Amino acid sequence: MNGNKTKNFSLSFTVKNKRLVGYIAAIGLVILLLLPQIVNSYILHVMITIFLFSVMSASLNLVVGYCGQLSFAHGAFASIGAYTGALLMLKTGLSFWGSLIASALIAALFGLILGLPTLRIKGDYLCLVTLGFGEIIRLALLNWSSLTRGPLGLSGIPTPSFLGYSLSGRLPFYYLTLLFLLITIILIRRLVSSGIGLSMQSVCCDEIAAESIGIRPIKYKLMAFVISAAFAGMVGCIYGSYIGFINPDTYVYNDSLTTFAMVTLGGAGSIVGPIIGAVLLSALPEVLRAINEYRLIIYGALIVVMMIFRPDGFWGIKRRQHNVYKRLAGR
């Protein structure tokens, strides 16, 4: 009897929590929609950066948080997407929207090419391979001058248009990147709640146990890798169109490290955590602009402190293996 009461109370508490989170999310969305009316252009630029890094961190979280793999290739995938989109718009006249889709597909293809041979290794070795991949992409973009113009980069990248209206300027890009972030959150939330997402989490919990119930770890690791690469490619395309210029240093390994720090600090394995990390680490350089050269040192110190006092991050989830496998068994 007491057990039923406890279960009912727990269920009621969970429902109330979900409603509270829903109310907070709705209020936050209204504030974000009205924010451009009360802030200046510089704040809009910072918010666009936060939205794009939020998409980067949320998608990397699929690999790091839900599959338990260490990847530092996200900046490279963003570079691939940026150059794919820019070259298609400049050389072929393809629209921004078509280039955006192409950027996602090409970045996903590179994710597949990288993931097939490397996701069989784990931990530090995978970390080193993805770092090396990022440097290979940077050097290829730097030295393939006939296509990428080398260190000169690509300029004059067109801005998107919709129904004949040009979306140039910070205000249209603010709403475009906000919409992109909302779509990303919805898609990733649906993915991690599906059977595919539960299989990814089971791989993160225990690969051997996952294999024992018929789940192929390499399949779901590769799936997460490819999907996250596609999102990073779209971020690169949008950023290139927003700035109007890209070069091989637009996305370097520092951006991969920063994105990884966002996931770790915010809380891997949750939807909200990486976004919190993106907000904190995107706003922090603006607050500490006077000592910007020490940015990576500060990020490293924050990660060490979080690992000691709150290893799950600000909004991390302690994954319970029996819950994951129980939900899988119920499908």
If the chain, 331 residues long, is cut into consecutive pieces of 10 residues, what is the mean pLDDT of each piece?
45 53 80 87 90 93 86 90 93 91 95 85 79 89 87 87 82 92 92 84 75 79 91 94 87 79 83 87 76 71 76 61 51 55
CA distances from 80 to 66, 103, 114, 127, 278 (A): 24, 7, 13, 19, 21
How high is the pLDDT of residue 65? 84
Calpha distance 60→111 (Å, rounded): 12
Radius of gyration in angstroms for the set of CA atoms belonging to the chain, rounded to a whole number: 21
CA 277 to chain centre: 11
Phi, psi of 39 (to 5 degrees): -120, 165
Pairing of strands 161-162, 165-166: antiparallel
How high is the pLDDT of residue 47? 92
Calpha distance 306→268 (Å, rounded): 12
How high is the pLDDT of residue 252? 67
Q: How many Cα atoms sit within 13 Å of 296 on the Cβ side?
A: 8
How high is the pLDDT of residue 282? 84
User: What is the pTM assigned to this prediction?
Assistant: 0.84
Are 204 and 173 members of one domain?
yes
Are 265 and 285 members of one domain?
yes
Are 195 and 314 members of one domain?
yes
Are 18 and 88 members of one domain?
no
Calpha distance 229→224 (Å, rounded): 8
Are 218 and 271 members of one domain?
yes
Calpha distance 88→81 (Å, rounded): 11
Nearest residue to 263 (alpha-carbon basis) of 194, 188, 182: 188
Nearest residue to 159 (alpha-carbon basis) of 145, 142, 171, 141: 171
Nearest residue to 160 (alpha-carbon basis) of 171, 148, 176: 176
The total of structural domains in the chain comes to 2
How high is the pLDDT of residue 2? 46
Are 146 and 251 members of one domain?
yes
How high is the pLDDT of residue 292? 67
Are 99 and 161 members of one domain?
yes
Tokens of 323: 């819950």
Are 103 and 19 members of one domain?
no
- Please name the residue that has the structure tokens 């931990």: 123
Calpha distance 95→32 (Å, rounded): 28
Are 159 and 236 members of one domain?
yes
How high is the pLDDT of residue 11? 41
Are 79 and 15 members of one domain?
no
How high is the pLDDT of residue 311? 67
Calpha distance 59→245 (Å, rounded): 24
Domain coverage including residue 138: 41-329
Phi, psi of 193 (to 5 degrees): -90, -10
CA distances from 34 to 91, 211, 268 (A): 38, 49, 30
How high is the pLDDT of residue 330? 54
Are 140 and 171 members of one domain?
yes
What lies within 8 Å, CB to CB, of 97 at 6+ separation is 160
Are 151 and 294 members of one domain?
yes
